[in-house]
């Protein structure tokens, strides 16, 4: 039985097996003979399963990606290299972008390690074809030279799944009832976290990526609209604490935003009349 892979990567280019072997040997500072490289669909009997580095490649159907790589590195050889490090090292040494998973709970979310040293978030789409699975990089946050068909845009699904601390929401919602998504309770859970996530983005300078979209900013303001109404709908036992939590978040929102310039128009709700001090779109 083959070992569990250390990294599952995709390559845009199709480097020959000998080039993959040498690239991995250079990256991991081991002799080339310490790296076993083989086709997943080829004969496995002659493989050196005890090699410090195992790389199994699979040719993909026509699409944006050429090879799928399963790489296993023994602990003593890895030298604390993460999947990202392997992807970046291979991209630089083979001259083609290498994709690795983002770590988010989203199958389409990947990073592309580009030969120029950048790492760029991208959206990977898979489609079943007669001879396997083909892949297309539909969009990326920056231009990737060897993926010219990918549109360049901020990816809303990535932004929505970025881990962000929400201590105010956590404290209030720990004792607040749960409910269906359409119930007042369910809408409080959603709206309060949406509002705090926006506040934390503002507070941290739009960490971790420095990016956000104006349409998402407006969606989050609508979450604040909903909270204003919900404070009057929830049980009186919770209304005061909810108002207190929202007010605390409002204070941080005020600190990191400024009043819109004249001519932008106004609305009855003050949060719609403010914009970020530094807009990330």
**73-93: string of b/e by CB count within 10 Å (b at 16+)?**
bbeebbeebebbbbbbbbbbb
Secondary structure class of 263 (helix, strand, coil): coil
Partner residues linked to 121 by β-bridges: 111
Partner residues linked to 195 by β-bridges: none
169: its two tokens: 């929401």
At residue 1, the pLDDT reads 47
At residue 24, the pLDDT reads 96
Residues with Cβ within 8 Å of residue 212, at least 6 apart in sequence: 154, 159, 201, 206, 280, 281
Residues with Cβ within 8 Å of residue 221, at least 6 apart in sequence: 198, 271, 272
Residues with Cβ within 8 Å of residue 122, at least 6 apart in sequence: 99, 110, 111, 112, 137, 139, 140, 141, 144, 147, 150, 155
4 and 72 Cβ atoms separated by less than 8 Å: yes
How far CA 159 is from CA of 153, 206, 209, 211, in Å, comes to 12, 10, 9, 8
Q: What is the mean pLDDT of each run of 10 residues along the chain (281 residues)?
A: 74 97 94 95 90 95 97 76 92 97 93 97 95 95 97 93 94 94 94 97 90 94 96 93 97 95 67 94 89
At residue 251, the pLDDT reads 98
Look-up of token digits 């007669």: 130
Backbone angles phi, psi at 147, to 5 degrees: -130, 65
At residue 262, the pLDDT reads 57
């Amino acid at each position: 039985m083959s070992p569990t892979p250390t990294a599952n990567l995709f390559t845009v280019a199709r480097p020959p097996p000998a080039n993959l072997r040498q690239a991995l040997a250079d990256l991991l500072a081991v002799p080339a003979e310490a790296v076993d490289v083989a086709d997943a669909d080829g004969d496995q009997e002659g493989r050196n399963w005890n090699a410090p580095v195992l790389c199994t490649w699979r040719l993909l159907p026509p699409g944006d990606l050429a090879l799928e790589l399963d790489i296993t590195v023994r602990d003593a050889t890895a030298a604390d290299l993460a999947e990202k490090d392997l992807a970046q090292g291979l991209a630089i040494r083979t001259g083609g972008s290498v994709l690795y998973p983002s770590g988010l709970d989203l199958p389409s979310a990947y990073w592309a390690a580009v030969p120029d040293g950048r790492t760029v978030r991208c959206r990977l789409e898979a489609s079943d074809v007669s001879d396997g699975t083909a892949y297309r990089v539909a969009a990326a946050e920056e231009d990737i030279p060897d993926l010219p068909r990918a549109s360049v845009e901020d990816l809303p699904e990535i932004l929505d799944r970025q881990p962000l601390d929400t201590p105010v929401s956590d404290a209030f919602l720990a004792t607040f009832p749960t409910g269906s998504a359409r119930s007042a309770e369910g809408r409080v859970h959603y709206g309060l976290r949406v509002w705090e996530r926006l506040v934390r983005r503002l507070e941290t300078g739009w960490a971790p990526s420095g990016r956000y979209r104006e349409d998402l900013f407006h969606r989050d303001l609508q979450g604040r609209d909903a909270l204003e109404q919900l404070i009057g709908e929830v049980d009186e036992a919770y209304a005061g604490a909810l108002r207190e939590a929202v007010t605390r978040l409002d204070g941080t929102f005020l600190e990191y935003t400024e009043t819109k310039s004249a001519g932008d128009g106004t609305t009855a709700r003050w949060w719609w009349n403010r914009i970020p001090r530094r807009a990330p779109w």
